Homo-oligomer: A and B are copies of this chain.
Amino acid sequence: MTKIFNLEEIKEAVKQINLISGIENGFIAFSEGKVTVPPVGEMLFDEPPGEVHIKYGYVDEDDVYVIKIASGFYDNPAIGLSSANGVMLVFSKKTGELLAILLDEGYLTSVRTAVAGAIVAKYLAPKSIEKIGIIGTGIQARQQLEYLEKVTDCKDVLVWGRNKKHAKEYAVEMNKKGFNVSVSSDTADIGRNCNLIITTTSAAEPVLIDKHIKRGTHITAVGSDTSEKNELESLILAKADLVVTDSLEQCRSRGEIFQAWINGLISDSNVVELGNVIKDKSFHRANENQLTVADLTGVVIQDIQIAKAVYRYLNENSK
């Protein structure tokens, strides 16, 4: 019997579950080659512009497989809808039965991305965080900051966005949630004042420049998921003591690492996969002077782990 859970139930489950440990275990299994990830399915649309991705796979030793459908329709906000949408399906790997449908409307994709940001900060952010810098003012800018609460007590935040009004709205909204957010006039200011910076834009030209970054900073870039987008000047990656990716395979074709690589500023051998960072202490931050960068393009193991965790929680706790 297929169980169907709506967005309200899913949001409640997300509040109750320790997603960090589940997704950490997923990254470790992924880096150990214990996760099967077939090629992503894709459909692109013109009128109106939109895209759909079908991501699926399983942890080899698990008894379930997960299929996620996630879409982006960029004209949606003009008609009052979110551009992102989606659904996650959990199946039995023993019988093919559809165990659960998570009608998350894209919410879990956003959460699992934010959880990955928190995991990275847990291992790579400086011990003493002066100020958190947030670049971008969208859903990820909000979610990343909220999930950082799981790994740091710092509430002081500088935000920058191309659209000043959106940046002000962001500050008002996040201040209500207990943060102390100021709007920054430029990203140079963020580089000078923050030692934990998260970039969440779809920029095609770098929004963070090497000369503004202090030693001892950790930067996580979550905005770029294509071969065109680019948030960080490649020189930052070249100067970093450690560059981390969620997927060695994906970073060869998209994201910040890809940009630095085609600019001839880093080589494959300088990059460590997040699963290996989590399990190997020698890759954790060693001192307050290191410059570290993580480039997250998103991998299906995050979807698998969050879908499983939400399904198991709701299966046990729903009426």
Contact = CB atoms under 8 A, between A and B. Distances in A.
A170 interface: no
Q: Label chain A's interface by main secondary structure.
A: strand
A41 B43 contact: no
A51 to B, nearest CB: 9
A71 B91 contact: yes
A181 to B, nearest CB: 31
A267 interface: no
A38 B43 contact: yes
A43 B64 CA distance: 12
Contacts of A52: 65, 91, 96
Interface residues of A, number: 38
Interface string A84-105: 0111010101111110010100
Number of copies: 2
Nearest to A40: B41
A198 to B, nearest CB: 26
Contacts of A22: none
Given A36-B43, A41-B41, 9 more contacts: A4-B4, A4-B101, A50-B96, A52-B65, A67-B69, A71-B96, A76-B96, A85-B97, A85-B98
Given A73-B96, A91-B71, A38 B36 contact: no
A253 B75 CA distance: 40
Interface in A60-86: 65, 67, 69, 71-73, 76, 79, 81, 85-86
Contact of A56 (B36, B43, B89, B101): B43
Contacts of A85: 95-98
A54 B76 contact: no
B69 A89 contact: yes
Given A39-B41, A54-B56, A56-B41, A73 B94 contact: yes
A264 interface: no
